[in-house]
Amino acid sequence: MAIATATPRTDAAARPMSGEEKKVIFASSLGTVFEWYDFYLYGSLASIIGAQFFSQYPQATRDIFALLAFAAGFLVRPFGALVFGRIGDLVGRKYTFLVTILIMGLSTFIVGLLPSANQIGILAPIILIALRLLQGLALGGEYGGAATYVAEHAPQGRRGFYTSWIQTTATLGLFLSLIVILFTRTILGEAEFAAWGWRIPFLVSVLLLGVSLWIRMQLQESPAFQRMKDEGTGSKAPLSEAFGQWKNAKIALLALFGLVAGQGVVWYTGQFYALFFLQSILKVDGYTANLLIAWSLLLGTGFFVFFGWLSDKIGRKPIILAGCLIAALTYFPLFKQITTLANPALETAVENVKVTVVANPADCGNLFNPVGTRVFTSSCDQARDYLAKASVKYTTEAGAAGQPTKVRIGSTDVPFDTAKTADSQKAVTAALQAAGYPKAGDAQIVKMNHPFDLFRPQVAGLVGLLFLLVILVTMVYGPIAAALVELFPTRIRYSGMSLPYHIGNGWFGGLLPATAFAMVAQTGDIYYGLWYPIVIALMTFVVGFMFVPETKDRDIFTYKGD
């Protein structure tokens, strides 16, 4: 039986949300929360997983392989969008995103059962990577299905509000994964958690999967797709129609460069790069960094719905583009203020201690290393790579040909010899600390003693700054589902919106932390990586402002494409 309340009438915008509509939103959002929970578990536990499944390699190589396996899930998301987008436009929205959540949930559950490399050898990492690929493919099909399904049930004039509930799911899924991990770690202790307890969050996902499947089974097909099917007007080749015909391919390109690329980098900067910046650059311990991010997400999540609602009033485009522009203009001062509060000794050292790598230019290569797999052999490259990982701001100066590399810290020269790399690193560290760079665990570095340790000025200030980053995330992400759904006609909507979304988020956004840190390493400036999201956000602002149409008043039931 079709859902009567889904008929898109203009006067429906004035009435309260019906019970069936609430059920549609809840089922779609809940399932997507679980999907994102599953997907981000791996990212949060990458180092432990590296030890379990890549134990035959040295520590640094383990971490690299674990992160590459994580990145594989992002890279295949657009292919999942193609596969499941096509199925969704041919078979239907409901059954397609039932399949995606089943694949995602089972893949995650199996990770929790998978024997380690010590037990089954090389099969362990092979199976792990295969499961990661399946998760990425499933996630590539999930978002487009959920967004399309909810939008096609929403009354005219309320699509932004209805679909904005889905936008909360990525943040809530990440938040849920952090909570389950923290709870399990607290109960078991670090030793037991690292040995076997890390499997519990993965195994718990099967319960979440069961609940989500049960709820989604109660739903009907979306009324827009059902009407199209009854009328026999569906596409026989949705991928060819969506991307092989210029009138539709042009819209997909505008969606990517004029909406989603900027949205993706602002979202990943506000949540993931902020976490990376706290831990890897400012040297905040993982427990504190995760709690700071979790609190900022908890405080900011309601704004996804607010900006979705607002987009029904003033439009999708002005809110998304304003978020991109404000982000581009404020990232440098916001991240510098985060440094001031989180690690004031590092800020002082960066500003006052001059560090120079003096080396033969022939020994100084390109340090760009976004996937972390390169091994540096020259003394200049090793010295610069070490300084970047120690969050030291440095410059490079040409030395005489044949002159050994040295690191000049203030007026002190420290030789850097590749034959004695460990000794050279220790000498550089000692000189840096003598000049003012903080030691590991410095008392000035922010540290939370428990989850509710929020009322000290240092902690409260950081949560406030991270909250501002989350507000920018909600501006670009709250209205994006409605904007993408409205750009494409029903017959190719699932395919058309899914591919640009997952290229923008999976590639532009998902590769941001690694790319930004590679830029930091190359330049010796701890803030230089921010240029990556700034440039992409500004590009999206310009392209979106000039070429992307406003769609909030478009009737998606009757829209046939331009």
Q: Look at residue 13 in the predicted model and tell me its pLDDT.
A: 54
Query: Of all residues in the chain, what percent carry a pLDDT higher than 90?
Result: 39
Per-residue pLDDT tens over the stretch 32-61? 787 678 767 876 787 788 788 887 766 656
In this structure, is residue 50 part of a structural domain?
yes
Is it the case that residue 192 has pLDDT exceeding 60?
yes
Q: Look at residue 538 in the predicted model and tell me its pLDDT.
A: 98
In this structure, is residue 461 part of a structural domain?
yes
3-state DSSP call for residue 300?
helix
- Looking up tokens 């949560």, which residue turns up? 463
Residue 272 CA from chain centroid, whole number: 6
Domain termination site, one of 435, 457, 479: 435
Is it the case that residue 468 has pLDDT exceeding 60?
yes
Q: Which residues contact 91 (CB under 8 A, 6 or more apart)?
A: none
Q: Where in the sequence is the domain holding 218, given as residue range(s)?
A: 20-342+449-547
**Per-residue pLDDT band at 2 (split at 50, 70, 90):** very low
Q: Look at residue 87 in the predicted model and tell me its pLDDT.
A: 83
Is it the case that residue 417 has pLDDT exceeding 90?
no
Identify the CATH number of the domain in which residue 508 sits.
1.20.1250.20
Q: Please, what is the average pLDDT of the chain?
A: 85
Whether residue 407 sits in one domain with residue 458? no
What is the three-state SS of 143-162? Answer: HHHHHHHHHCCCCCCCHHHH
Domain termination site, one of 435, 469, 502: 435
Q: Look at residue 61 in the predicted model and tell me its pLDDT.
A: 63
H helix intervals, 397-488: 421-435, 457-477, 480-487
In this structure, is residue 519 part of a structural domain?
yes
Is it the case that residue 511 has pLDDT exceeding 60?
yes
**Per-residue pLDDT band at 328 (split at 50, 70, 90):** very high
Is it the case that residue 224 has pLDDT exceeding 60?
yes
Whether residue 423 sits in one domain with residue 455? no
Mean pLDDT, to the nearest integer, of 489-506?
A: 84
pTM equals 0.86
What span, in angstroms and rounded, lies between the C-alpha atoms of 219 and 3?
A: 9
Whether residue 64 sits in one domain with residue 192? yes
- Output phi, psi for 415, to 5 deg: -65, 145
3-state DSSP call for residue 501?
helix
Whether residue 507 sits in one domain with residue 411? no
Is it the case that residue 478 has pLDDT exceeding 80?
yes
In this structure, is residue 471 part of a structural domain?
yes
Whether residue 499 sits in one domain with residue 393? no
3-state DSSP call for residue 390?
coil
Whether residue 386 sits in one domain with residue 498? no
In this structure, is residue 555 part of a structural domain?
no
Whether residue 223 sits in one domain with residue 146? yes
Q: Look at residue 370 in the predicted model and tell me its pLDDT.
A: 64
Mean pLDDT, to the nearest integer, of 180-207?
A: 89
Would you say 140 and 502 are in contact if contact means Cβ atoms under 8 Å apart?
yes
Would you say 120 and 176 are in contact if contact means Cβ atoms under 8 Å apart?
no
Q: Look at residue 1 in the predicted model and tell me its pLDDT.
A: 33
Domain termination site, one of 409, 435, 461: 435
Look at 270 and 168; give whichever has higher pLDDT. 270
Question: Hey, what amino acid is at 99?
Answer: V
Q: What angle do CA 188, 189, 190 make, to 5 degrees?
A: 125
In this structure, is residue 5 part of a structural domain?
no
**Per-residue pLDDT band at 64 (split at 50, 70, 90):** low
Q: Which of 412-421's residues contact partners 24+ apart within 8 Å by CB, and which partners?
A: 413/358, 416/357, 416/379, 416/382, 416/383, 417/379, 418/377, 418/378, 418/379, 418/382, 421/382
Mean pLDDT, to the nearest integer, of 311-325?
A: 97
Is it the case that residue 9 has pLDDT exceeding 50?
no
Mean pLDDT, to the nearest integer, of 521-529?
A: 89
Q: What is the DSSP string of 349-371?
A: HHHH--EEEEE-GGG------TT
- Output phi, psi for 406, to 5 deg: -140, 150
Whether residue 412 sits in one domain with residue 479? no
Is it the case that residue 537 has pLDDT exceeding 80?
yes
Whether residue 250 sits in one domain with residue 204? yes
Whether residue 334 sits in one domain with residue 383? no
Per-residue pLDDT tens over the stretch 442-454? 889 999 998 899 9
Is it the case that residue 8 has pLDDT exceeding 50?
no
Element (DSSP H or E) covering residue 282: none
Per-residue pLDDT tens over the stretch 15-28? 666 777 777 888 77
What is the three-state SS of 55-109? Answer: CCCCHHHHHHHHHHHHHHHHHCHHHHHHHHHHHHHHCCHHHHHHHHHHHHHHHHH
Per-residue pLDDT tens over the stretch 232-277? 666 666 777 767 788 878 999 999 999 999 999 999 999 889 988 9
Per-residue pLDDT tens over the stretch 119-130? 888 888 889 888
In this structure, is residue 425 part of a structural domain?
yes
Whether residue 490 sits in one domain with residue 369? no
* Number of independent structural domains in the chain: 2
529: nearest Cα among 540, 517, 541: 517
Look at 231 and 478; give whichever has higher pLDDT. 478
The number of residues making up the chain comes to 562
Whether residue 333 sits in one domain with residue 356? no
Q: Look at residue 429 in the predicted model and tell me its pLDDT.
A: 93
242: nearest Cα among 229, 253, 226, 258: 253
Sheet bearing 395-398, strands edge to edge:
395-398, 355-359, 406-409, 412-415
**Per-residue pLDDT band at 4 (split at 50, 70, 90):** very low
Identify the CATH number of the domain in which residue 395 sits.
3.40.30
In this structure, is residue 552 part of a structural domain?
no
